[in-house]
Structure 1
Amino acid sequence: MNITKTIALAVALLAAPALTQAPLVSAEAFAGAKQARAGNASYYGKRFHGRRTANGERFNMNAMTAAHKSLPFGTKVRVTNRRNGKSVVVRINDRGPYAHGRVIDLSRAAASRIGMLNSGTAPVKIDVL
């Protein structure tokens, strides 16, 4: 393989992850997008506890954190379970969810606080704080 092809391949491989990620949206733009503020939530816990999140910190299933596809890291959101009205404030520190139809992945502690541990998922409303 000649040097030109090697460089082209390296550039393509480095650019590939950026092309597959959802673009970041500002908290203000998200707050104005009605369709992005509601959907199904899921949670993650023991299997990921201690692993690195997308922002570089270690995931703590007992912390009030969440994964969102496009909100900036550090954004605080109120997540309200539409079945029972319970809500929790979480900080975005990871990317996801990657399951179809989900809008946010909560830590186990946050999911417990809004009463969705048994069901695993719940319809939620998300408000940027």
Structure 2
Amino acid sequence: MEQFPHPPDGFRDFLDIITEPMFKAKLLLTAVEFCLFANLQELQTSVEVAETLGLHPINTEYFLDGLCVCKWLTKENVTYFNSDYSLKSESALKDEISFMFRLQKKILSLKEKIRLGGLTFLFISC
């Protein structure tokens, strides 16, 4: 198994700023691609969700717990259900998330755009 590098002291907060939004967005996009919110209109266990969607049961529990941390699902004992945040239509969520990933791609190519030209926007907020 690949080992993650150990960042120097004080660097962890910086890494969280970079990675946390990326992981949250990927969790949400994956939930939308699985049509998870449409399947969680009623209380279900992770095993029931895994069976319905054809997923690995243990990984499904980790996945659902991650969505709970992000407040997109709610967990009561061993059952999961949609939170108020996830009640928006999945197609609208998918469109919005896809837009954000396209925007992220443009932002990630910022260095090249500055070097070579073609920069059409620049958002900086600190």
Task: Say whether the fold is shared (TM-score over 0.5).
Answer: no
Normalised by the length of structure 1, the TM-score is 0.27
Highest RCO, 1 vs 2 (Cα 8 Å, sep ≥ 6): 1
Identify, as 1 or 2, the structure richer in strand.
1
Identify, as 1 or 2, the structure richer in helix.
2
From the CA coordinates, give the structure whose radius of gyration is larger: 2
